[in-house]
Chain A
Amino acid sequence: MSNKIPKETLVGLYETMLRIRMFEEKVVELYPAQEMKTPVHLYIGQEAIAAGVCLNLVKDDYLLSNHRGHGHCIAKGTDMGVMMAEFYGKAGGCSGGKGGSMHLVDPENSIPGNSAIVGGGIPMAVGAALASQIKGLKSVAVTFFGDGAVDEGVFHESMSFASLKKLPVVFVCENNLYATNSHITARHPTGDIAGSAGAYGVPGVCVDGNDPEAVYECSKEAVERARKGTGPSLIEARTYRWKGHVGPDADFEKGCRPEEELREWMEKCPVKRFRERLLTSGVMSAEEMDGLRSAVAEEVDKAVSFSDKSPWPDTAELTRGLYYEGGGK
Chain B
Amino acid sequence: MPWTTVPKMERTPGVEPGSREITYREALNEALSQMLGIDERVFIMGEGVDDPGGVFGTTKGLPEKFGDARVFDTPLAENALTGIAMGAALAGMRPVLVHMRVDFLPISLDQIINHAAKWHYMFGGKVHVPMVIRAITGRGWGSAAQHSQSLQALFANIPGLKVVMPSTPYDAKGLLMAAVADGNPVIFLEHRWLYEAAGHVPEEPYLVPIGKGEIRRKGKDATIVGVSHMAREAVAAAELLANEGIDSEVIDLRAVRPMDSPLVIESVRKTGRLVVADTGWKLCGIGAELVARVAEEALGELKAPPLRINIPDVPTPSSPVLEEAYYPGKDDIAAGVRQLLGK
Stretch at the interface among B75-83, B150-158, B211-219, B254-262: B75-83
Interchain CA distance A301-B144 in the complex, whole Å: 26
Q: Which residues of A1-48 have CB atoms within 8 Å of chain B's CB atoms? A: 34, 37-39
A182-B48, A319-B312 known; A152-B322 Cβ under 8 A: no
| Cβ–Cβ contact A187 & B76, under 8 A | yes
Q: How far is the CB of B4 from chain A (nearest CB, A)?
A: 9
Chain B 302-316 residues near chain A, CB threshold 8 A: 312-315
The smallest C-beta distance from B11 to any residue of chain A, in angstroms, reads 27
Q: In the complex, are the beta carbons of B319 and A90 less than 8 A apart?
A: yes
Out of A39, A153, A181, A315, which one reaches B77, CB within 8 Å? A153
Q: Is A188 an interface residue (CB 8 A)?
A: yes
* A315 with B142: CB separation less than 8 A: no
Is residue A318 contacting chain B, with contact meaning CB distance below 8 A?
yes
Contact A89 B76 (CB under 8 A): no
Q: Is the Cβ of B76 less than 8 Å from the Cβ of A149?
A: yes
Q: Is the CB of A103 within 8 A of B77?
A: no
- How many whole Å from A301's CB to the nearest CB in chain B? 23
Is A298 in the interface zone, CB < 8 Å from B? no
Q: Residues of A contacting B107 with CB < 8 Å? A: 117, 152, 154
Q: In this assembly, does B143 line the interface, its C-beta being within 8 Å of a C-beta of chain A?
A: yes
Q: Judging by beta carbons under 8 Å apart, are B52 and A98 in contact?
A: no
- Give the size range of A's interface with the partner: 35 or more
Determine how close the nearest CB of chain B comes to the CB of A265; give it in whole angstroms.
20
Query: Are B317 and A103 within 8 A (Cβ)?
Result: no
B320 lies within 8 A of A89 (CB): yes
| Residue A284 CB within 8 A of the other chain | no
Size of the chain B interface, CB-CB below 8 angstroms: 39
A154 to B108, CA, bound (A): 12
* Chain B: CB-nearest residue to A93: B319
Q: Is the CB of A39 within 8 A of B142?
A: yes
A256 & B51 in contact (Cβ 8 Å cutoff): yes
A120 to B147, CA, bound (A): 13
Complex Cα–Cα for A102 and B53 (A): 22
The reply on B326 being an interface residue by CB < 8 A is yes
Question: Which residues of chain A from 178 to 224 have a CB within 8 Å of any chain B CB?
Answer: 179-182, 186-188
Chain A residue nearest to B321 (CB atoms) is: A312
Contacts of A231 in B (CB 8 A): none
Nearest B residue to A86 via CB reads: B318
* Given A37-B141, A98-B319, A322-B313; A117-B325 close (CB under 8 Å): no
Q: Mark A108-143, 1 if CB is under 8 A from B, else 0.
A: 000000011111100000000000000000000000
A329 within 8 A of B: no
For B78, list chain A residues within 8 Å (CB): 152
Which chain B residue lies CB-closest to A188? B75
Inter-subunit contact B48/A180 (CB<8 Å): yes
Which of B74, B144, B323, B326 lies at the interface centre, i.e. has the most chain A CB atoms within 10 A of its CB?
A: B144
Are A89 and B47 in touch, CB under 8 angstroms? no
A190 to B79 CA separation, bound complex (whole angstroms): 21
- Inter-subunit contact A117/B104 (CB<8 Å): yes
Q: Specify which chain B residues have a CB less than 8 angstroms from the CB of A81 in the assembled complex.
A: none
Asked whether A299 is an interface residue with its Cβ less than 8 Å from the other chain, the reply is no
A321 to B76, CA, bound (A): 32
* A98 to B103 Cα, complex, angstroms: 17
Residues of chain A within 8 A (CB-CB) of B80 are 153
Q: Counting CB contacts under 8 A, is B1 at the interface?
A: yes
Check B314 against A181 for contact (C-beta < 8 Å): no
B325 engages A187 (CB within 8 Å): no
B144–A98 CB distance below 8 A? yes
Across-interface contacts of B76 in A (CB, < 8 A): 118-119, 148-149, 151-152, 179, 187
With A102-B144, A313-B319 already in contact, the answer to whether A39 and B47 are too (CB < 8 A) is no
From A101, A115, A313, A322, B146 is in contact (CB under 8 Å) with: A115
Bound state CA distance, A319 and B2, in angstroms?
Answer: 26
Q: Verify A313–B313 contact, CB threshold 8 A.
A: no
Q: Which residues of A contact B (CB under 8 A)?
A: 34, 37-39, 86, 89-90, 93, 95, 97-103, 115-120, 148-149, 151-154, 179-182, 186-188, 246-247, 249, 254-256, 312-313, 315, 317-319, 321-322
8 pairs from A and B in contact (CB 8 Å cutoff): A37-B142, A39-B141, A39-B147, A99-B144, A102-B144, A180-B51, A182-B48, A315-B325
9 cross-chain pairs, A with B, having the tightest CB-CB distances, nearest first: A89-B319, A100-B318, A97-B319, A38-B142, A151-B75, A187-B75, A151-B76, A100-B142, A98-B317
15 further A-B contacts with Cβ under 8 Å, apart from A37-B320, A319-B312, are A34-B2, A37-B142, A89-B319, A98-B317, A100-B142, A100-B319, A117-B146, A119-B76, A149-B76, A151-B77, A179-B76, A182-B48, A186-B73, A187-B73, A254-B53
